[in-house]
Amino acid sequence: MAGMVQEDGSSSVTSSPLQIFSLMSISPSMGSPYPWLRELKSEDRGLYLIQLLLSCANHVAAGSLDNANLCLEQISLLASPDGDSMQRMSAYFTEALAGRILKSWPGLYKALNSTKIFSLSESILVRRLFFELCPFLKLAYVVSNQAILEAMEGEKMIHIIDLNSGEPAQWIALIQALSARPEGPPHLRITGIHEQKVVLEQTALRLTEEAEKLDIPFQFNPIVSKLENLDIESLRVKTGEALAISSVLQLHSLLAGDDDGHRKMTPPKTPSSAHLHRVLQMNQSTLGELLENELINGHSPSADSGSSAPFSDKMESFLSSLLGLSPKIMVVTEQESNHNGSTLMDRLLEALYFYAALFDCLESTMPRGSIERLNLEKMLFGEEIKNIIACEGIERKERHEKLEKWIQRFDFIGFGRVPLSYYGVLQARRLLQSYGCNGYKIKEENGALVICWQDRALFSVSAWRCRRYD
């Protein structure tokens, strides 16, 4: 095997060890490790890692733990949390697949994870890093605020319900915009919902300071609660208030409430060796391109990838309760991917496409040695990947679904769509231009805004209202 590596250390297309691997089935009899693995070129290594991840997931789904263990052992030789995009992403998918295996032994799993506790300060830090290092939330806030401002034009008493009040930046910008209204600022009340009291206290302090500085009548109503346990009565919507609701990357977690955690795993197919040979002839510059060039033969994620029915009991009840509050506007930001498929491979493939784009955008904008980048990838992306791949039932909260599914839900409940305004989209485009990176893009779709890295849609922003305002 080692003799197949050229003198300069690179592997040839015609005699690549990756090609030899693609002709072989992974089995415990192969033995490990292989010294030539470390000498693969970046493109070959990326393809090999994807092949191994797919094979590993196949074995995990089929309960073939010896084969899965061999795959994990080989992946560990190539994956690295501080390498290139594919190496970094593979490290977290590997951890997720290993975690799924370990969950078969609850005692062992709990023992190995008993000290892995992220502090509240770390949780706040990683959300702040995502806000600062990527433009996705900034764009969502700009578009959401403009939709709220237009819906609330002329209103003297405004009540905003924030379903996850952990980031004051959006409301600081809105307070500033309201202070400049020609008709004068309104009385503003924000109800913030979060699991941690201290987070709400910090948000309240920051917003109160801003409102006092701009002389805007302001009140903050904190509610310490998980979203699935929220008492709608505690929102205290008053007669005469114009209501706006904001949900940023929150609603998908409610889909866990109707899952019995006993879905059948369908073993996937492995990419054919002929197809892998064809892909080896291509020159892909990014991890996203590796996946986009039909690498996963016969495994392109389908439109809904076997996701849950759009009208689950928990979600229907919650959205119906919000509709009953008669909001003039509800703005929803969600991940634009389907990570709620019924099988492990459904979710693995969708997650590979989605997180490939996120890891690529950081690769293009940040140095590999950045501690901030490492923390963001580990504590946010890595934890989401583990939840999507390793967890089932009520424990699996990261059930991201696409805009078309959210449109079905809101239409079914009785919300009316609010097309995002030209000015809101224009503001988003200007913000992207100032960001100085050509990879980020936005497009309009079904009256909503879709935020992309290159051509891969990653987040959507849509606006809704009670139909009595139509």
Closest residue by Cα to residue 93 from 37, 54, 48, 127:
54
pLDDT bucket at 260, cuts 50 / 70 / 90: very low
- Asked whether the predicted pLDDT for residue 29 surpasses 70, the reply is no
At residue 118 the predicted structure's pLDDT band, cuts being 50, 70 and 90, is low
Task: Report the mean per-residue pLDDT for the chain.
Answer: 82
Q: What is the mean pLDDT of residues 190-219?
A: 94
Residue 372 has pLDDT above 80, yes or no: yes
Record the tokens describing residue 133, joined without a space: 């290092």
Condensed to tens digits (0 to 9), the pLDDT of residues 138-175 reads: 999 999 999 999 999 999 999 999 999 888 999 999 99
pLDDT cut 90: percent of the chain above it: 57
pLDDT, residue 37, reads 59
Residue 290's pLDDT is what? 57
DSSP symbols for 317-377: HHHHHHHTT--SEEEEEEESS---BSSHHHHHHHHHHHHHHHHHHHHHHS-TT-HHHHHHI
3-state SS class at 16? coil
C-alpha distances in angstroms, 172 versus 151, 209, 292, 374?
18, 10, 39, 29
Q: What sign does the CA torsion over 47, 66, 69, 348 have? A: positive
Least-confidence region, from 87-96, 118-127, 253-262, 439-448: 253-262
Check pLDDT > 80 for residue 121.
no
pLDDT: which is higher, 290 or 104 = 104
Of 242-246, 255-259, 452-456, the poorest mean pLDDT is in 255-259
For residues 59 and 210, give the distance between their C-alpha atoms in angstroms, rounded to a whole number. Answer: 55
What CA–CA distances, in Å, run from 406 to 230, 252, 291, 461?
20, 9, 26, 11
117 pLDDT band, cuts 50/70/90, is low
Q: What are the pLDDT digits (tens) for 305-324?
A: 444 444 567 888 999 999 99
Section 451-466 average pLDDT: 94
Closest CA to 143 of 170, 107, 179, 105: 170
Q: Which of 37-46, 184-193, 263-272, 305-314 has the highest mean pLDDT?
A: 184-193
**Mind listing the pLDDT tens digit for each residue in 68-109?**
999 999 898 889 999 999 999 999 999 999 999 988 777 777
Q: What is the mean pLDDT of residues 197-209?
A: 94
- Across the range 210-234, mean pLDDT stands at 93
Q: What is the pLDDT of residue 246?
A: 97
Pairing of the two strands 187-194 and 415-418: unpaired
Share of the chain above pLDDT 70, in %: 77
Instruction: Specify whether the CB–CB gap between 463 and 420 falls below 8 A.
Output: yes
H or E element that contains 205 = helix 197-213
Q: What is the mean pLDDT of residues 222-229?
A: 92
H or E element in which residue 453 lies: strand 448-453
End-to-end CA distance of the chain: 69
| Residue 255, pLDDT above cutoff 60 | yes
Minimal CA–CA distance to 53: which of 328, 348, 414, 449? 348
Q: Cβ neighbours of residue 450 under 8 Å, at least 6 residues apart?
A: 336, 403, 442, 443, 444, 457, 459, 460, 461
**Per-residue confidence at 437, pLDDT binned at 50, 70, 90?**
confident
Over 50: is that where the pLDDT of 275 sits? no
Q: Which pLDDT score, from 0 to 100, does residue 157 have?
A: 95
Interval 46-68: pLDDT, tens: 888 998 999 999 999 998 989 99
Q: Which of 181-190, 301-310, 384-393 has the lowest mean pLDDT?
A: 301-310
The token duo for 44 is: 């070959």
**Dihedral of CA 306/303/323/245: which sign?**
positive
Q: CA 385, CA 398: separation in Å to the nearest integer?
A: 8
Beta bridge partners of 307: 341
Question: Which residue in the block uniquely carries the two structure tokens 């866990």?
Answer: 256
- Longest CA span, the chain: 79
Confidence label for 283 from pLDDT (cuts 50, 70 and 90): very low
pLDDT of 25 > 90? The answer is no
pTM, two decimals, is: 0.83
Place of tokens 């709608």: 232
